[in-house]
Amino acid sequence: MKATVAERFFKRGRPADRVFPFRGTAEYVSSAVALPDGRKMGVARTMEPARQPVIYFHGILGSRLEAFIGGATQHEVIAFDRPGYGMSDPLPRPSFLAFAKDVEAVLDQLGIDRCVVFGGSAGAPYALAAALQLGPRVAELFLAGGVAHASMVRSAGVPMRWLVDFAENELLRERIVPRLQELLKNPVITKAWLQMSVSSEGQVMPSAAATQLLANRLSESWLAGISAGDDGVQTDLELLTTPWDFDHTALRCPVRIVHGGKDGVVPLDHARWYVRHLPGARLKIMPRHHHVTAILVTAHKVMALAHWLEHRRPGQKPPVSAG
């Protein structure tokens, strides 16, 4: 029986904390794909065709570019701007289910019949909704550093609790959020903030230069995401703090949960919630990793293993970077 990406990723004895090396720069093409109702969705796609491409859903303040922060990948990756971010138009009414239907429409246009779905941080519930909508087209679902159900967001401490505060305080949501985003449109401010934010991630990075590169590429993704205004963040604030409009228990594909043991952004309890509530879900903790590197390392491993499984020769060993 052919091994799956998840079986290789969760194989016992494989080191969980090996960091990807940021080799090269990913090559991709961005476009705005027309949706049935006339809106557009921003999509970035690598040119390497695959039978099962990896579909990537970014975190809060992110964009389609987040999928390529780790550098070059041989496997086909398709990444979306969520509604209101980057090149994607806002939804008429915020809805996980409506977004999932948009994803389905885009994949139909691209001729994607089978895929592996990946969601990181605030992109996790969006990825879950998409996997449910796509049904048997999804081979496997990976959620890394994922924000769980609104009940978990509301019961968490800071910084997770800030999502609720901004969502429910009119002054914060209507005045402060737009002002903060205007500040973050300044590349100097964004880079300085992210360099400070990812400094704690440096202990698992191969070098200070790699940590700097991580901050720079993360900054590029943020700037691309917030370029269209604050609609994306406003949508996130509403959807992440209110009950989901889809039945998560109906998921039937294999689902794998990965979380950094030192994640100070999304508590480990969120990963455990997913394991309790999604049928057959398995959890892998990356003990030395914080929030950002746990997500990006997992994404890189999933892409590398998906490529290896699709093209491996008899007796060929998995790539070291996917260990």
Tens of each residue's pLDDT in the chain, 323 residues: 466 777 777 765 444 445 566 778 889 999 999 999 999 999 999 988 889 999 999 999 999 999 999 888 889 999 999 999 999 999 999 999 999 999 999 999 999 999 999 999 999 999 999 999 999 999 999 999 999 999 999 988 888 888 999 999 998 899 998 898 888 888 888 888 888 888 888 778 878 888 888 899 999 999 999 988 899 999 999 999 999 999 999 999 999 999 999 999 999 999 999 999 999 899 999 998 999 999 999 999 999 888 888 887 776 666 654 33
What per-residue confidence (pLDDT) applies to 15?
Answer: 46
291-311 vs 208-226: helix crossing angle, rounded to 10: 90
Residue 80's beta-bridge partner residues?
Answer: 43, 57
What per-residue confidence (pLDDT) applies to 323?
Answer: 37
What per-residue confidence (pLDDT) applies to 12?
Answer: 52
What per-residue confidence (pLDDT) applies to 322?
Answer: 39
CA distances from 176 to 67, 115, 160, 299 (A): 28, 39, 17, 32
What distance in Å separates the CA atoms of residue 144 and residue 299, rounded to the nearest whole number? Answer: 8
What per-residue confidence (pLDDT) applies to 7?
Answer: 74
Range of the domain at 295: 5-313
Residue 217, domain member (yes or no): yes
Q: Residue 306 is part of a domain; what is its CATH number?
A: 3.40.50.1820
Contact (Cβ atoms closer than 8 angstroms) between residue 86 and residue 224: yes
Task: Count up the domains in the chain and report the number.
Answer: 1
What distance in Å separates the CA atoms of residue 171 and residue 174, rounded to the nearest whole number? Answer: 6
What distance in Å separates the CA atoms of residue 312 and residue 258, rounded to the nearest whole number? Answer: 25
| pTM across the whole model | 0.92
- Spatial neighbors of 289 by CB under 8 A, at least 6 apart, are 17, 201, 204, 260, 261, 262, 263, 297
Mapped onto helix, strand or coil, the DSSP state of residue 43 is strand
Residue 120, domain member (yes or no): yes
What distance in Å separates the CA atoms of residue 200 and residue 297, rounded to the nearest whole number? Answer: 16
Residue 323, domain member (yes or no): no
Residue 247, domain member (yes or no): yes
Residue 263, domain member (yes or no): yes
> Phi/psi of residue 156, each to 5°?
-85, 165
* CB half-sphere exposure, 300, CA atoms < 13 A: 25
- For residue 193 the two structure tokens come to 């903030």
What distance in Å separates the CA atoms of residue 69 and residue 26, rounded to the nearest whole number? Answer: 8
Residue 318, domain member (yes or no): no
What string of DSSP letters covers 183-212? HHTSHHHHHHHHHHHGGGGGGGSS-HHHHH
124-134 vs 96-110: helix crossing angle, rounded to 10: 60
What per-residue confidence (pLDDT) applies to 140?
Answer: 95
Rg of the chain over all Cα atoms, to the nearest angstrom: 18
What per-residue confidence (pLDDT) applies to 315?
Answer: 66
What distance in Å separates the CA atoms of residue 69 and residue 295, rounded to the nearest whole number? Answer: 11
What per-residue confidence (pLDDT) applies to 321?
Answer: 47
What per-residue confidence (pLDDT) applies to 305?
Answer: 87
Residue 151, domain member (yes or no): yes
Residue 321, domain member (yes or no): no
